[in-house]
Structure 1
Amino acid sequence: MAAITRLVRHSSSIFYLGSRCLSSAVASEANSHATPFNFHLKPHLQRKDPKDRNVQWVFLGCPGVGKGTYASRLCNLLGIPHIATGNLVREELASSGPLAAQLSEIVNKGQLVSDEIIISLLSKRLAAGEAKGESGFILDGFPRTIKQAEILEGVTEIDLVVNLKLREDVLLEKCLGRRICSQCGGNFNLASINIKGEDGNPGINMPPLLPPAHCMSKLITRSDDTETVVKERLRIYNEMSQPVEEFYRSREKLLEFDLPGGIPESWPKLLQALNLDEYENKQSAAA
């Protein structure tokens, strides 16, 4: 499928550009950035004309905002892979690959995985996907720093960055309500959020995501889902994310989307913001 609608943010307006290739000005700007750390593009990672591929998007947002949930839904709709760098690290750790031992040492010491390793894993994943015929992707939660954004710009073309936003008090409640089934590994949320609108701000309603009965007695809480830890995690994210948001805003690739509620309220509005509501209707009719 050719590249679906690209969104460009300009001042306070969003302009929809049809299913066409990126403008030559934007394309040449992106190609002109040399990547740091001497990452060399292999032939199979050279940029493709957007008209010959599917979307290549990034999803950003605070911990607990729902990046994985909405990215996965969009990937299912568009028929493209959902790539989360955290999963790439875990997969490499579980393998006998060349980086497994190095990653194991880093993780065991509680250190951060370097940008070089993350980009190496991502480049490997993109190359493998292209070899299998994948023509697009959505990156979940990456890049998180300016340095990572600059490196990524030298590895592949990003068409759009969707920044999911949610009030901090709601994020905190969502994170504290998260539960994992110790048996099946399923993710659930016990938080029932119902905030009335006031002072011109809309209300937010998010029902709990309850587990099936056989999982209820096996629910556990993540060790880092405490109020103190969550607040610090949100503070650090907000501090680090602002330069990344500005990086993509200056390139007219940032779409900021305020989640109005849970999935039933937010999903149709997100599709509308991405100009994909009619596309979903056509897919449903064809099914």
Structure 2
Amino acid sequence: MAALNRLLRAGAAVRLPTAAARRCILSLAFSGGDARQGMPGRRDPVSRNVQWVFLGCPGVGKGTYASRLSQLLGVPHIATGDLVREELASSGPLAPQLADIVNQGKLVSDEIIINLLSKRLENAEANGESGFILDGFPRTIRQAEILEGVTDIDLVVNLKLREDVLLAKCLGRRICGQCGKNFNVASINVKGENGRPGIFMAPLPPPAQCMSKLVTRADDTEEVVKERLRIYNETSQPVEEFYRSRGKLLEFDLPGGIPESWPKLLQVLNLEDHDDKQSAAA
């Protein structure tokens, strides 16, 4: 983790390491990995030391599913969107610059994202965490190359959802101004047509104590959301191809809301959620 952190920070300003140097870095970054031929072994998810990336358009649900999997596997969920929002709320030196970028629906620069991610990894190392699920990083080829240069990602999950549903989801997002939890007031019921399946997503309403305290994120306007989707689509295809060519990309079309999608995602990942089964049986 320490080597990954150092190289992420340096990667914004220097060229990627050579193959020989990369093997040395990997031997440091993967304590407990299989060192045969200088490369780490693939990790069984049961070992709770997975190193996964979640890709997908803004509002697709990366945070929801990555968070659930992080709890299931016992690894930290590191969401760069959350890191940006935390920095904004901290009123630190980057806050004014970040506010302008976010409110216009633009991408935060590689340098800022890598700086925030490096800080988070430092905290992870101090807390003795191992493994991770990255959410929102990498978003550009440059970020993917930096990450590839210092670690061997096990799996890249690309969540997909049709754009009209994504827009409705984003516009329905709400945050409780008191507890900070996320909810969604959108009720989505799109009929299938032209060979596309229908999609139903029930609202995720807040409890009574949060109802009067709901606020809309400043960047969740139709104009900004559409701009974010346009930018994401432009930058995502090269990143998807980057991982597809390496045999690491798993594309998953969300069939609906959490009740429909979560069991199917677990199935394709060859995982079981025992707590979820017990709740369903209760």
The reply to whether TM is greater than 0.5 is yes
TM-score, normalised by the number of residues in structure 2: 0.76
Is residue 29 of structure 2 the alignment partner of residue 47 of structure 1?
Answer: yes
- The answer for the alignment partner of 2:66 in structure 1 is 71
Q: Tell me, what secondary structure is at the counterpart of 2:71?
A: helix
- The answer for the alignment partner of 1:119 in structure 2 is 114
**Counterpart selection for 1:59 from 54, 63, 72:** 54
1:249 maps to a residue whose letter is: R
Using the TM superposition, name which of 267-276 and 221-230 deviates more: 221-230
1:155, CA displacement in angstroms? 2.9
Using the TM superposition, name which of 138-147 and 87-96 deviates more: 87-96
Higher share of residues assigned helix? 2
1:202, CA displacement in angstroms? 1.9
Q: Is the Cα–Cα contact under 8 Å of residues 176 and 226 in structure 1 kept in the other structure?
A: yes
Q: Map Cα deviations across residues 56-78 of structure 1 (whole Å, 9 max, x no partner).
A: 00101111100000000000000
**Counterpart selection for 1:38 from 8, 14, 27:** 14
- The answer for the alignment partner of 1:174 in structure 2 is 169
Q: Is the Cα–Cα contact under 8 Å of residues 45 and 156 in structure 1 kept in the other structure?
A: no
Distance in 2 of aligned mates of 1:243 and 1:259: 21
Is residue 230 of structure 2 the alignment partner of residue 208 of structure 1?
Answer: no
Q: Map Cα deviations across residues 64-116 of structure 1 (whole Å, 9 max, x no partner).
A: 100000000000000010001233345556779xxx53x24533554864323
Superposed counterparts of 1:1-287, under 5 Å = 37-38=13-14, 46-48=28-30, 49=33, 50=41, 54-91=49-86, 100-101=92-93, 103-104=94-95, 106-107=97-98, 110=101, 113-277=108-272, 280-281=273-274
Q: Is the Cα–Cα contact under 8 Å of residues 192 and 206 in structure 1 kept in the other structure?
A: yes
Change (3 A) 1:181 1:283: closer
Number of paired residues? 246
Distance in 2 of aligned mates of 1:86 and 1:282: 28
Distance in 1 of aligned mates of 2:253 and 2:60: 10
Q: Tell me, what secondary structure is at the counterpart of 2:13?
A: helix
Distance in 1 of aligned mates of 2:225 and 2:101: 18
Change (3 A) 1:281 1:105: closer
Using the TM superposition, name which of 80-89 and 158-167 deviates more: 80-89
Q: Is the Cα–Cα contact under 8 Å of residues 75 and 133 in structure 2 kept in the other structure?
A: yes
Using the TM superposition, name which of 152-161 and 51-60 deviates more: 51-60
Q: Is the Cα–Cα contact under 8 Å of residues 26 and 150 in structure 2 kept in the other structure?
A: no
Unaligned runs of 5+ in 2: 1-9, 34-40
Distance in 1 of aligned mates of 2:50 and 2:87: 26
Change (3 A) 1:198 1:110: closer
Q: Give RMSD over aligned pairs.
A: 3.0
